[in-house]
Structure 1
Amino acid sequence: MNFITKEILTATMVLFAVIDIIGSIPVIISLREKAKKIKSGRASIIAAVVMVFFLFLGEEILKLIGINVNEFAVAGAFILFFIALEMILGVTLFKEKEGGRDMATVFPIAFPIVAGPGSLTTLLSLRAEYEMENIIVAIIINIVVVFIVLKTSSRLQNILGKNGIAIIEKIFGVILLAIAVKLFTSNIQELFT
């Protein structure tokens, strides 16, 4: 085991920014009103299983279609770049539609809000640079945060307010943009060497 605090912190922040669970509070509250009940624990566990599964088998899936991790990381950098632009500029480029009344726990909360295309792409991008165990710790930390936010979403919205949520979203958008640039430059060099 090779636990590196810096890698864990960076991977945690990247995943936190991509998952953007704080920014999803209004969507979660709206779903909670429609579905009446959201199983926070179940949604968190399903999202964690999907993310860990993709972390381990995503590369094998890529090999089947003839893509290496560096190429996927460059593609991931573009996705992170656009997600960051969404967060900073307050525009909607690719938000998923809300799911049905009965499926709110699994869809859209577990997938795609938590374990969506952005976070799955990010996991493989992180795998190109960081140790596996550090990424798993980052996933666990984020799933714990997701669970807490799902459990306390109404109270969090009251505490942070619309402006608070917007400020957090902008800050993490800028961090995510910088990480996307770093991910792109480091992996594009690997493709040409």
Structure 2
Amino acid sequence: MDFNFKEIFTAFMVLFAVIDIVGNIPIIIDLRKKAGHIQSEKAAVIAGFIMILFLFVGQRLLNLIGIDVHSFAVAGSFILFFIALEMILGVTLYKEDEEEALSATVFPLAFPLIAGPGSLTTLLSLRAEFKLENIIIAVLLNVIVIYIVLKTSSRIERAIGPNGIKIIRKVFGVILLAIAVKLFAANFKMLIN
């Protein structure tokens, strides 16, 4: 086991920015109103399970279809780039159909809102750079944060207000944009070599 605090912190921040649980508070509140109740523990645990499972089998899935981690990381950097643009500019480039199955904790909350294409792509991109145990700790720390945010979402929204949520989204958008550029540069260099 080679635990590295810097790697854990960076992986945690990247996942935190991609999952954007604070920025999703308005959606969570809306889901809670429509569904009546959201099981915070279940949603956090299922999202964590999906992410850790993908961390282990994602690589094999890629190998099965003949794609290496660096190519996937470059593709992931584009996804992160567009997620960051959405966060910074306040535009929606990718729209999911929110009308169907809004009542469940698993869908659409745990998947695809928390453990969605962005976070799964990010996990494999991180795997190309960081040690597995550090990424797992970062995922588990994010699961704890997700649980806390889900449990206290209405209080958080009241405390920081809609403008506070917008500011947080924009700040994390800029951080995510910088990470996307770094990820692209590092993995593109590996592809060329």
Interval containing the TM-score (normalised by the shorter chain):
over 0.9
Q: After TM superposition, give the deviation of residue 42 of structure 1 in Å.
A: 0.4
Secondary structure in structure 2 of the residue aligned to 1:100: coil
Cα pair 1:96 1:112 within 8 Å, conserved: no
* In 1, Cα distance between equivalents of 2:19 and 2:159: 20
Range with greater deviation from structure 2 (11-20 or 91-100): 91-100
Residue 178 of structure 1: aligned partner: 178
* In 1, Cα distance between equivalents of 2:160 and 2:43: 23
CA RMSD of aligned residues (A): 0.8
Q: After TM superposition, give the deviation of residue 100 of structure 1 in Å.
A: 1.9
Quick one: which amino acid aligns to residue 19 of structure 2?
I
Aligned residues: 192
Residue 32 of structure 1: aligned partner: 32
Report the TM-score when normalising by structure 2.
0.98
Residue 129 of structure 1: aligned partner: 129
Cα pair 2:84 2:173 within 8 Å, conserved: yes
Unaligned runs of 5+ in 2: none
1:45 pairs with 2:45? yes
1:146 pairs with 2:146? yes
Quick one: which amino acid aligns to residue 82 of structure 1?
F
Residue 162 of structure 1: aligned partner: 162
* In 2, Cα distance between equivalents of 1:101 and 1:178: 33
Secondary structure in structure 2 of the residue aligned to 1:37: coil
Unaligned runs of 5+ in 1: none
Cα pair 2:51 2:139 within 8 Å, conserved: yes
* In 2, Cα distance between equivalents of 1:73 and 1:26: 30
Residue 10 of structure 1: aligned partner: 10
The percent identity for this pair of structures is 65
Q: After TM superposition, give the deviation of residue 96 of structure 1 in Å.
A: 2.2
Quick one: which amino acid aligns to residue 87 of structure 1?
M
After superposition, the C-alpha distances for 1:64-110 in whole angstroms (9 at most, x for unaligned) are 0000000000000000000000000000011423242432x001110
Secondary structure in structure 1 of the residue aligned to 2:106: helix
Report the TM-score when normalising by structure 1.
0.98
